[in-house]
Amino acid sequence: MTTDETTQLTARVDALDRALAVADGRVPPATVERVSATIDVVRARLALGVDHTVVALVGGTGSGKSSLFNAISGLQFADVGVRRPTTSEITACVWGNGAEALLDWLGVLPERRIARESLLDGESEASLRGLVLLDLPDHDSIAPEHREVVDRLIPQADLLAWVVDPQKYADDALHTGYLRQLVGHESSMVVVLNQVDTVPPEVRPALIADLERLLVDDGLTGVPVTSASATTGEGIKALRAALAGVVASQSLAARHAGTEINDAVAAVEQHVAAREPTTLSVAETVESLTRSVGLSAVAGSVATAVRGGSPAAQGFGAVQEDAVGLARELWLRAATHGMPKRWAQDIGSRIASTAELRMAVADAISELSLTTRRSALALGLLVAALVLAVAAVVLGAVAVGSRAGDGGAGTWAPVVAVVALVAAVAAFVASRAARSAAARRRSDRVLRDGRAVLESVCRARLLVPTEQVLTEHRTVRELVASARG
Ligand SMILES: Nc1nc2c(ncn2[C@@H]2O[C@H](COP(=O)(O)OP(=O)(O)OP(=O)(O)O)[C@@H](O)[C@H]2O)c(=O)[nH]1
Ligand SMILES: [Mg+2]
């Protein structure tokens, strides 16, 4: 593993960790637990450094894991027995030095560790320097603690070498219980068909082909399958060469850590939507709320009062709960469209309830001024019209009283009377127009102010809490995407 790879993997795991923190409560606890465990394993593995590659021999009891361990290491350190199961403690062989912390983390007891010093072995073991080979207990044991050890080690090992034998390679406990769960981890797996000495050479290709077919059925593609015999030593050289290649490439631990992270990412992604809903409409909701309070009727009554049709405006009645509930329901539906269950529930619990919303709406409209003050201009014009009308009447009387041709009043009074009459009519018409304009202004103002306060309610009680959740969702979604390799 290079420093670059370590930095990248650390960043990915950190992103995943932050995603879990932000998602708080909106990813199911079981998933959080699983993903946190992966984060811990990957972090610990990265912290333990890049100098070793952990290869675990895994398989059913009696398949020959311990025998292969001994054959590969050239030591008789692992217990091989006739009593099944034989191995109950992890056994480790380390090529090279300095793997103590790694072995502690893997849970290998000090007395179950052995080192192959390439110095003593000359150059024959040099190619395996950096290898940590583990012999595990069986996974199909009657002893449940064996299975626990295997399950703990599977995510910790950089490479799993599944050891099967010609009798039990199709075992369902292996395929359903383990291999199918490891789809996506093909690059961190090999399968060894051990005990091939027990079948005639001409049968072996068919056996291998059958095993390969089963792996494909499990959903695993590209997993290398090799045959070996711990007893005769057949295939052991090739196995050692393959392990040397794995150690030399150094990137196996990184690749394995990467697949572990991707598995965790996939688990979190099941609880994150591909995008946030974009169909939220404050305007529509405000419209619904205006209907719930009968805003246009109130505005209309203000207009009538200003026009003089009634002594006072009618004011707001009770806010209609059904209409508020429907507005909230439509909002919630748009806000949670396509969102996973827990996020949707969170939005539902953070926005105002119907009762709260109704109360907020009632409070907001109670502050509205429903002024029905008449227009001063209209009043002035009306007074002017009356004065002019009276003047016209008086002048008309003067005109009738004076004889025409007398000069004086007889000449000008009729003309002025007509002018005054026309002015009176004009002032009256203007007064009506001013009154209508005032009525329109006041009712428009009620509509505008009403919409404004309802919009504030909508923003504060619906939009802000919704956006908080959606912003958190976006953060989680982006973090999860950046955690994916
Ligand atoms: N013929 C033959 N026998 C083998 C081979 N490998 C192992 N055996 C025998 O199979 C039996 C089981 O071998 P182990 O190495 O103990 O198997 P294991 O997988 O470690 O078993 P557990 O520790 O119980 O999980 C022993 O009797 C071995 O001698 C092989 O390649 N050929
Ligand atoms: Mg064993």
Higher confidence at residue 376 or residue 142?
376
pLDDT confidence bin for 125, thresholds 50/70/90: confident
Q: Could you tell me the two tokens for 156? A: 């910790």
**What residues pack around ion ligand 2 (CB closer than 5 A)?**
65-66, 86-87
Higher confidence at residue 477 or residue 406?
477
**Residue among 61, 80, 83, 153 whose CB has most ligand 1 atoms within 8 A, to mutate:** 80
pLDDT confidence bin for 121, thresholds 50/70/90: low
Q: Is residue 204 a contact partner of residue 167, using CB atoms and an 8 Å limit?
A: no
Q: Is residue 287 a contact partner of residue 460, using CB atoms and an 8 Å limit?
A: no
Task: Tell me, in angstroms, the distance from the centre of ligand 2 to residue 134's CA.
Answer: 11
C-alpha span between 323 and 459 (Å, rounded) = 18
Task: Tell me, in angstroms, the distance from the centre of ligand 2 to residue 58's CA.
Answer: 9
What share of the chain has pLDDT > 70, as a percent? 97
Instruction: Check whether 405 has a pLDDT greater than 60.
Output: no
CA dihedral 172, 178, 179, 185 (to 10 degrees): 180
Q: Is residue 154 a contact partner of residue 115, using CB atoms and an 8 Å limit?
A: no
pLDDT confidence bin for 119, thresholds 50/70/90: low
pLDDT confidence bin for 353, thresholds 50/70/90: very high
Candidate from 114-128, 236-250, 399-413 with smallest mean pLDDT: 399-413
Mean pLDDT of 26-40: 96
Whose C-alpha lies nearest to ligand 1, atom 11? 62
Q: Could you tell me the two tokens for 116? A: 């192959």
Instruction: Check whether 136 has a pLDDT greater than 80.
Output: yes
Task: Tell me, in angstroms, the distance from the centre of ligand 2 to residue 155's CA.
Answer: 20
C-alpha span between 241 and 228 (Å, rounded) = 13
Question: Which pLDDT belongs to residue 374?
Answer: 84
* Boundaries of every domain in the chain: 51-249, 283-484
Instruction: Check whether 243 has a pLDDT greater than 70.
Output: yes
Q: What is the pTM for the complete model shown?
A: 0.79
Mean pLDDT of 378-387: 94
Instruction: Check whether 118 has a pLDDT greater than 70.
Output: no
Whose C-alpha lies nearest to ligand 1, atom 2? 195
C-alpha span between 378 and 433 (Å, rounded) = 8
C-alpha span between 270 and 393 (Å, rounded) = 89
Task: Tell me, in angstroms, the distance from the centre of ligand 2 to residue 266's CA.
Answer: 34
pLDDT confidence bin for 378, thresholds 50/70/90: very high
Ligand nearest to the CA of 86: 1
What mean pLDDT, rounded, does the chain reach? 92
Task: Tell me, in angstroms, the distance from the centre of ligand 2 to residue 90's CA.
Answer: 9
pLDDT confidence bin for 122, thresholds 50/70/90: low
Instruction: Check whether 1 has a pLDDT greater than 60.
Output: no
Question: Which pLDDT belongs to residue 314?
Answer: 83
Express each pLDDT in 167-196 by its tens digit: 999 999 999 999 999 999 999 999 999 999
Nearest ligand 1 atom to the CA of 163 is 19
Higher confidence at residue 185 or residue 315?
185
Residues with CB under 6 A from ligand 1: 59, 61-67, 80-82, 84-87, 137-138, 194-195, 197-198, 229-231
Question: Which pLDDT belongs to residue 297?
Answer: 93
Beta-ladder partners of 456: none
Quick one: three-class SS letters along the chain?
CCHHHHHHHHHHHHHHHHHHHHHCCCCCHHHHHHHHHHHHHHHHHHHCCCCCEEEEEEECCCCCHHHHHHHHHCCCCCCCCCCCCCCCCCEEEEECCCCHHHHHHHCCCHHHEEEECCCCCCCCCHHHCCEEEEECCCCCCCCHHHHHHHHHHHHHCCEEEEEECCCCCCCHHHHCCCHHHHCCCHHHEEEEECCHHHCCHHHHHHHHHHHHHHHHHCCCCCCCEEECCCCCCCCHHHHHHHHHHHHHHCCHHHHHHHHHHHHHHHHHHCCCCCCCCCCCCHHHHHHHHHHHHCHHHHHHHHHHHHHCCCCCCCCCCCCCHHHHHHHHHHHHHHHCCCCCHHHHHHHHHHCCCHHHHHHHHHHHHHCCCCCCCCCHHHHHHHHHHHHHHHHHHHHHHHHHHCCCCCCCHHHHHHHHHHHHHHHHHHHHHHHHHHHHHHHHHHHHHHHHHHHHHHHHHHHHHHHHHHHHHHHHHHHHHHHHHHHCC
Task: Tell me, in angstroms, the distance from the centre of ligand 1 to residue 65's CA.
Answer: 7
CATH classification of 51-249, choosing from 3.30.470.10, 3.40.710.10, 3.40.50.300, 1.10.150.20?
Answer: 3.40.50.300
Higher confidence at residue 124 or residue 148?
148
Task: Tell me, in angstroms, the distance from the centre of ligand 2 to residue 387's CA.
Answer: 120
Nearest ligand 1 atom to the CA of 146 is 25
Whose C-alpha lies nearest to ligand 1, atom 14? 64
Question: Which pLDDT belongs to residue 178?
Answer: 96
From the list 139, 206, 202, the residue with the least C-alpha distance to 176 is 139
Express each pLDDT in 47-66 by its tens digit: 987 678 999 999 999 999 99
Higher confidence at residue 248 or residue 405?
248
Question: Which pLDDT belongs to residue 192?
Answer: 98
Instruction: Check whether 404 has a pLDDT greater than 60.
Output: no
